[in-house]
Structure 1
Amino acid sequence: MKKIVFAVLSLVFSGTVLAQKSSVWNNKQCAVVLTYDDAIDIDLDNVIPALDSLKLRGTFYIIGSSPVVDKRLNEWRQAAKKGHELGNHALFHPCDASLPGRGWVQPDFDLSKYTVSRAVAEIRMNNTLLKAIDGKDKRTFAYPCGDLKVGGEFFYNQLKNDFVGARGVNASLLTPAETKLDNIDSYYIADQPAGYMIDLVKKAQQTHTLLVFLFHGVGGGHAINEDLSAHSKLLHYLKANEKDIWIAPMVEVAEKIKEYQAKSN
């Protein structure tokens, strides 16, 4: 009898946990966020048309100084009107040149030579630019190169009130309770087959977790590239399973997680 009662209680508890997690994901099995870095032509030429054709929305992390922002400002504005998020990827994309493999970093934008106040000021300037484009006050941030610190200090600590959340580069699937909004995990995608990406989505569905994809070039346009066909297959899988998967910009997902965590604390 005790075993039966325990089994019933376990099922009830599991169902409750599943219901809680699903409610965070808009009553679906999981959440998937498609993010694209660096504000490049390919975003406007390949990615946004592909997303729009399937009525899917993504997050585009914008470097304010990118010439593609200046030259194609109205197209970014139209993308925002269609529901895509214009996220903040800093004004000049500074990275820590003292780390291995960072010889490409320009001396003027070497994060290891920055002060925290300079990093924060440039990111806030980029927010001003982005608001001038899309008119929005809420957005998320993505760490350039995944670098979190200036002089050993977490510079985002001064920016927590400026953003709903910040995307990092560590790869894992997380529940709403496990997600750190100041460093949201993501899967870095470069030359991965469609099957790899779709399998990640299926795993997120099974575990009722958050899956964030991090893309740069899609079909060219960047040294870090993903095949256009593979990307298309991922999008079509997401669309075909939309009833079970919440596909939304990072800002919307982060807001849901923030609400959930506030109620849980």
Structure 2
Amino acid sequence: MNSIRLLCLFLGVSLASFAQQPWNGKKCAVVLTYDDALNVHLNNAIPALDSAGFKGTFYISGSFPGFTQRLQDWRKAAQRGHELGNHTLFHPCDASLPGRQWVNPENDLSKYTLKRITEEIKVTNVLLEAIDGKKSRTFAYTCGDAKVGTQFFMDGLKGELMAARGVRGEMHPVDQIDLYYTDGYIVNNDSGEKMTSLVKKAMQTNTLLVFVFHGVGGEHSLDVSLAAHRELVHFLKQHEKDIWVAPLVDVADFLKQQKR
């Protein structure tokens, strides 16, 4: 809070004013994240974001064909300001949990060692740096799974990553965010109206809202229609004076600055 007071004095604004616009001078922050390096992210999502002047966070699973077969396209996306985030090499998920029969036994996170998941994430960081030249990186937990056995594997990776995104649908104010389990709302065939209602709530409560997209107009069972996605982007653009739309790496950097 002392750093916030000093910032307010420097900028000549009151604490009350800051409380109403705590997110880089705006009411709330919205992060648009897209998981799994799908072709539709390059074909559909990025053009929609570019047309509005927004930057998204794209969580890359390094072995997926939507990444390996389109390296130059991802490099161009990064050059235009989109974040390439770490989503592991092989997208392991915990097959011991209910409803996880679909998990490939070779990618069963419950059978991983702490060393294996740690090294897989570190290698993915190196791979992504070779594409975008950047060292600051955020991470998204595959299937929202954050543990190997009883161990929270991010504990040993905080020096490698700026933040990590989960899939628990919640919003939090500036001073109540766990950067290494940043909550996100999974979008699953949601309407534009439902998504914009979440944005309105974030504006009213001065909180961080993170969307978790997979398919955008197809290519994944967790999908959002092009029309609904377009409606959300249009709403964000219409209310840009009140909403800070930014990649998670920028939001994480902002939050870390507030704590100094």
TM more than 0.5: yes
Listed as ranges, the matches of 1:21-100 within 5 Å are 22-23=21-22, 25-100=23-98
Structure 2 equivalent of residue 224 of structure 1: 222
Confirm or deny: 8 A CA contact 1:18 1:208 kept in the other structure.
Answer: no
Identical counterparts, % of pairs = 54
Structure 2 equivalent of residue 16 of structure 1: 15
Structure 2 unmatched runs, 5+: 1-13
Quote the offset at 1:20 in angstroms: 4.8
How far apart, CA to CA, are the structure 2 residues paired with 1:95 and 1:56? Answer: 30
Q: Which amino acid aligns with 2:132?
A: D
Structure 1 equivalent of residue 128 of structure 2: 130
Residue 152 (1) aligns with residue 124 (2):
no
Residue 182 (1) aligns with residue 180 (2):
yes
Structure 1 equivalent of residue 203 of structure 2: 205
How far apart, CA to CA, are the structure 2 residues paired with 1:152 and 1:17? Answer: 42
Quote the offset at 1:176 in angstroms: 1.1
| Deviations 1:179-223, CA, capped at 9 Å, x for gaps | 001100111111111111101101111111100000000110111
How far apart, CA to CA, are the structure 2 residues paired with 1:201 and 1:70? Answer: 34
Confirm or deny: 8 A CA contact 1:21 1:176 kept in the other structure.
Answer: no
| Deviations 1:74-97, CA, capped at 9 Å, x for gaps | 000000011100000011110000
Q: How large is the RMSD of aligned CA atoms in angstroms?
A: 1.1
Q: Which amino acid aligns with 1:16?
A: L
How far apart, CA to CA, are the structure 2 residues paired with 1:258 and 1:95? Answer: 29
Structure 1 equivalent of residue 190 of structure 2: 192
Relative to structure 1, is the Cα distance of residues 160 and 229 closer, same or farther in structure 2, using a 3 angstrom cutoff? Answer: same
| Deviations 1:117-147, CA, capped at 9 Å, x for gaps | 1000000000000000000000100000000
Quote the offset at 1:68 in angstroms: 1.5
Pick the structure with greater CA Rg. 1
Confirm or deny: 8 A CA contact 1:197 1:234 kept in the other structure.
Answer: yes
Aligned length in residues: 247
Q: Which amino acid aligns with 1:22?
A: Q
TM-score, structure 1 length as denominator?
Answer: 0.91
How far apart, CA to CA, are the structure 1 residues paired with 2:148 and 2:64? Answer: 23
Structure 2 equivalent of residue 240 of structure 1: 238
Q: Which amino acid aligns with 1:148?
A: A
Moved over 3 A (4+): none
Structure 1 unmatched runs, 5+: 1-14
How far apart, CA to CA, are the structure 2 residues paired with 1:93 and 1:40? Answer: 13
How far apart, CA to CA, are the structure 1 residues paired with 2:212 and 2:16? Answer: 28
Residue 250 (1) aligns with residue 244 (2):
no
Q: Which amino acid aligns with 2:87?
A: H
TM-score, structure 2 length as denominator?
Answer: 0.93
